[in-house]
């Protein structure tokens, strides 16, 4: 039997966190290639440290894209995030590009040839999840953790655009612990925010700067007790970003997904074009799970799919309602296969993924966002609700 009363915690990290800087750069490279060729293949990994950026991986795309262009895209990503520190500056960082051609042994499994449809680029398992705890159909702890940092970043960017001083730097983290009663979130028991700041501000000043961004996003009455409101617990956070800690692409997969409230297959998203099922199939599972919950078929929905390298059809589709379902899970597994072609090509075409829409996903979660007019976050659409309701009328 599922527990009804408990505490659950999720964390988020900002766009200026060292790992998120790497995710942003890697996804900017994906966008560069997809803007030139919707069928380009990209697997780009990024490392950052003090005034140094290293990109490595495999690509297949227009030869007109040069290493200088790739380096420029990386530099502009760092500028957009807002790094202009002595130890990490968008103008001064040394950038090294080691991208080479995609392996033919991988390409042959993915390419469609003769009667063979496009295959998965690797074996693996992918999960999607949705619940009715928040308007975004996301678990509440990760939803509010993201929202706190997004509001702080938005204010920082506004001040920067206006040439105004702002107390926060780009690097920050949040962590929200919520109390659940009868399986529903009812309030925060503790909140942690660590943010890079200007040296002239002490811990108490930073605490008061942070406070409105926390209280402003939580529902009324949800603020944690004052002794459980932790801001920069070490007392100082001036050196931040890659100057303070090295970053790597793909190290924040739980931040990117559901904050630990649902399983994750293990594959990272950033730096990968949409032929990689680590990314596209996880998006498809989120899309289906969100529509299932929005259709009222369950309060929680976890979906798993699996693939083999070079094989187009999923090997399995699994649905779990965690005891909250109002329809048969096994029947839904069949219905979902009918509603959406879960081959790599089918997912890409259904969700319109072969577009330069990925740099924006690199921070504040790949899920729980609003669909955008140019196709960004298409996996957040609720356009299957009526069909799902009809299937179980």
d(CA 48, CA 21): 8
Query: Distance from CA of residue 33 to its chain's centroid?
Result: 20
How far apart are the C-alpha atoms of 350 and 345, rounded to whole Å?
A: 8
Asked whether residue 74 is domain-assigned, the answer is no
**Residue 206 placed within a domain:** yes
| Token reading at 193 | 């925010």
Q: Are residues 281 and 231 in the same domain?
A: no
Query: 281 with 229, same domain?
Result: no
Question: Does residue 216 lie within any of the structural domains?
Answer: yes
Q: Judge whether 174 and 193 are in contact, CB under 8 Å.
A: yes
Confidence bin at 3 (pLDDT 50/70/90): confident
271 within 8 A of 44, measured Cβ to Cβ: yes
Has 251 been annotated as catalytic? yes
pLDDT beyond 60 at 116: no
* Residue 1 pLDDT exceeds 80: no
Average pLDDT along the chain: 95
Q: Report pLDDT digits (tens) over 242-282.
A: 999 999 999 999 999 999 999 999 899 999 999 999 999 99
Of the residues 8, 11, 15, 20, only one is catalytic, namely 20
Annotated binding site: 17, 19, 45, 58, 102, 171-173, 236-237, 245, 251-252, 268, 272, 276
154 is catalytic: no
Give every CB contact of residue 139 below 8 A, 6+ residues apart in sequence. Answer: 8, 10, 129, 131, 133, 258, 259, 261, 262
At residue 41, the 3 state secondary structure works out as: strand
Q: Is residue 84 a part of any domain in this protein? A: no
pLDDT at 115 over 60: no
Do 289 and 319 reside in the same domain of the chain? yes
Which residue, 193, 218, 239, sits at the end of a domain?
Answer: 239
pTM value is 0.95
The answer on 289 and 219 residing in a single domain is no
Q: What is the pLDDT of residues 148-172, one digit of tens each?
A: 999 999 999 999 999 999 999 999 9
- At residue 377, the pLDDT reads 98
Mark whether 231 and 281 lie in a shared domain: no
132 is a catalytic site residue:
no
Say if residue 235 is in the same domain as residue 150. Answer: yes
**Is 23 a known active-site residue?**
no
What is residue 148's predicted lDDT score, i.e. its pLDDT?
A: 98
- 283 within some domain: yes
Determine whether 27 is an active site residue.
Answer: no
- What distances in angstroms separate CA 248 from CA 15, 55, 211, 212, 372, one per listed residue? 13, 10, 30, 31, 28
What CATH number does residue 380 fall under?
3.30.300.10
Query: Based on the domain organization, do 307 and 333 belong to the same domain?
Result: yes
Indicate whether 113 pLDDT > 80. no
Same domain for 154 and 221: yes
| Chain centroid, CA 58 distance in Å | 22
Q: Tally the domains of the chain.
A: 2
Q: Are 299 and 324 in contact (CB under 8 A)?
A: yes
- Three-state DSSP at 331 gives helix
Name the one residue in this structure whose structure tokens are 């964390």: 11
Query: Does 220 reside within a domain?
Result: yes
State the maximum Cα–Cα separation within the chain, in Å, rounded to a whole number.
67
Same domain, 302 and 362: yes
198 inside domain: yes
Q: Where does a domain end: 190, 216, 239?
A: 239
Can you give the pLDDT at residue 393? 87
Domain assignment of residue 116, yes or no? no
User: What range defines the domain where residue 302 resides?
Assistant: 124-132+277-391
Average pLDDT of 340-353?
Answer: 96
* Partners of 101 in the β-ladder: 59
Domain boundary pick from 184, 209, 239: 239
SS3 348: helix
Annotated binding site for ATP: 17, 171-173, 236-237, 245, 251-252, 268, 272
Same domain (yes/no): 286, 372: yes
Go through the chain and tell me how many residues it has: 393
**pLDDT of amino acid 310:** 86
Answer for the pair 109, 309: CB distance below 8 angstroms, yes or no.
yes
| Shared-domain flag, residues 195 and 291 | no
305 & 376 share domain = yes
């Amino acid at each position: 039997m599922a527990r009804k009363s408990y505490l659950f915690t999720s964390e988020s990290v900002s766009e200026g966190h060292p790992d998120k800087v790497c995710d942003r750069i890697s996804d900017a490279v994906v966008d560069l290639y997809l803007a030139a060729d919707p069928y380009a293949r990209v697997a780009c990994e990024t490392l950052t440290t003090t005034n140094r950026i290293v990109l490595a991986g495999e690509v297949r795309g227009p030869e007109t894209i040069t290493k200088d262009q790739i380096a420029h895209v990386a530099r502009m990503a760092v500028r957009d995030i807002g790094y202009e520190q002595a130890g990490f500056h968008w103008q001064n960082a040394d950038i090294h590009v080691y991208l080479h051609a995609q392996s033919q042994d991988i390409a042959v499994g993915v390419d469609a040839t003769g009667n063979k449809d496009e295959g998965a680029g690797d074996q693996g398992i992918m999960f999607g999840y949705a619940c009715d705890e928040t308007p975004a159909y996301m678990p509440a702890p990760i939803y509010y953790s993201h929202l706190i940092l997004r509001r702080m970043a938005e204010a920082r960017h506004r001040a920067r655009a206006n040439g105004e001083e702002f107390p926060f730097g780009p690097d920050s983290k949040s962590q929200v612990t919520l109390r659940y009663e009868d399986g529903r979130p009812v309030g925060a028991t503790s909140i942690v925010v660590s943010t890079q700041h200007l040296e002239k501000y002490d811990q108490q000043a930073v605490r008061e700067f942070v406070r409105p961004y926390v209280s402003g996003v939580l529902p009324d009455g949800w603020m944690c007790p004052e002794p459980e409101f932790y801001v920069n617990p070490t007392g100082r956070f001036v050196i931040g970003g890659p100057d303070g800690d090295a970053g790597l692409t793909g190290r924040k997969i739980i931040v990117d997904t559901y904050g630990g409230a649902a399983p994750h297959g293990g594959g990272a998203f950033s730096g990968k074009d949409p032929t990689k099922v680590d990314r596209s199939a996880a998006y498809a599972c989120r899309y289906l799970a969100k529509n299932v919950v929005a259709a009222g078929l369950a309060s929680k929905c976890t979906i798993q799919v699996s693939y083999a390298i070079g094989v187009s059809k999923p090997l399995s589709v699994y649905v779990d309602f965690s005891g909250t379902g109002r329809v048969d899970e096994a029947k839904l597994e069949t219905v979902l296969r009918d509603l959406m072609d879960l081959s790599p090509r089918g997912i890409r075409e259904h969700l319109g993924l072969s577009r330069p829409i990925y740099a924006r996903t690199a921070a504040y979660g790949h899920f729980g966002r609003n669909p955008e007019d140019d196709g960004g976050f298409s996996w957040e659409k609720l356009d299957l609700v009526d069909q799902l309701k009809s299937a179980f009328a």
